[in-house]
Chains A and B, each alone.
Chain A
Amino acid sequence: MKLRESVDEAVAGIADGSTVLVGGFGMAGMPFDLIDALIRQGATGLTIVSNNAGNGDVGLAALLKAGRVQKVICSFPRQSDSYVFDDLYRAGRIELEVVPQGNLAERMRAAGAGIGAFYCPTAVGTPLAEGKETRTIDGRDYVLEFPIKGDVALISAHRADRLGNLVYRKTARNFGPVMATAATTTIVQVSEVVEAGSIDPETVVTPGIFVDRVVRAEARSYMVEGAR
């Protein structure tokens, strides 16, 4: 039911103007094949939620370069190889909302968990809390943060079974399990699809209830040159 034959089939139906949660921390865990398929699919005016704003010319950077992205919500856009985003931003052709990394994760977790909003101590007294409601609880100050919900999540995992249960690999896990819970439609590319029962239930990281579509795609890796 959840298994798709191709990445193009997997991304079918993503609408213009969608909010798309994109997994990955830099290159690790980036769903390269799903993003390439999304570029072919053609949806535009997208809001992208991801930790970074693309590296080099591949993955998220390629989607930005294709002009499909209206806004990026991320924690760390500026990197040594984020030149595609940098040029768009400086030209005023893309909006940016910078969110502290932990808030980015927690706001998506809240969306996935059905939480209306939450008070968080991160960013109190900083420019990123300006204009936000604050509250003192037991003597500590907190900022009110709202959930980030995706129409679609595109994530990469290591292995899936036919029911959509997922396991990840090392630090490529990063945002995957959180994003999987926070979108209306969660689409996952994996290196390997196995029969139900082949993954030890004790080791499932993302239970299949959070997963809508699974497609197998050869693992691709891009080595990160230098820090950041």
Chain B
Amino acid sequence: MPLSTGELAALVARDIPAGSYVNLGIGQPTRVADHLTPEQGVILHTENGMLNMGPAATGDDIDPDLTNAGKVPVTELPGASYFHHADSFMMMRGGHLDVCVLGAFQVSVHGDLANWHTGAPDAIPAVGGAMDLAIGAKQVYVMMTLFDKQGRPKLVPKCTYPLTGLRCVSRVYTDLAVFDVGAGGAVVRESFGITREQLRQVT
């Protein structure tokens, strides 16, 4: 059976090494936080300037001065810290952040990432921190469906959408399979309700 988004998020959470500093991208990747255990001791980074970010804020805890990178009100955990943007991106670019989990339009079997722009001529380009994260974190995990809405594979020999980063993704978590990607191409780690032969045909 293909995995639900929640199951996929749980799978990613399971694979994050204990004690890691982790950035979860906007959208589906934020759901990974729901599945991290206190024993893992993972510290979440949000690029707008905070480490040890807590869950989304509700009710009286909502503070307009405390949001995540998706501009959703969040909370702080004990031991949180705040810092300015140059420091925040230094944490990525300087190789201090262990893992980031990002969504994607396409990933190539060699680890190229396309997740910021569809290339549509009328689209207003907006990149945010995607390019900095892609090349900055020590491990870049992508979380996405294996096929797009038109049924085309999103794990591709070569990206056709505008690139976010070159050879930066190390692992791709999809509803149908988990792949390691890199110089040697894509290698299936696990699959869910699809045979390896079927996977080979589509990717």
Contacts and interface: CB of A to CB of B under 8 A. Distances in A.
B195 to A, nearest CB: 34
A81 to B, nearest CB: 10
Interface of A: 25-29, 51, 75-79, 86, 89-90, 96, 98-106, 108-109, 120-128, 168-178, 205, 221-224, 226-228
B124 interface: yes
Given A122-B132, A178-B84, A223-B62, A101 B127 contact: yes
B50 interface: yes
4 pairs of A and B residues whose beta carbons are closest in the complex:
A102-B89, A102-B132, A221-B64, A105-B85
Do most interface residues of chain B lie in helix, strand or loop, or is the interface mixed? loop
Contact of A98 (B84, B127, B132): B127
21 contacts: A25-B67, A28-B48, A89-B124, A101-B132, A102-B92, A105-B84, A121-B135, A124-B166, A125-B112, A125-B166, A170-B50, A170-B65, A170-B82, A171-B49, A173-B83, A176-B84, A177-B86, A223-B64, A224-B73, A227-B26, A227-B71
A76 B49 CA distance: 16
Interface string B122-133: 111111111110
B63 interface: yes
A123 B131 contact: yes
Contacts, number: 163
B11 interface: no
A206 to B, nearest CB: 9
B72 to A, nearest CB: 5
A97 B23 CA distance: 26
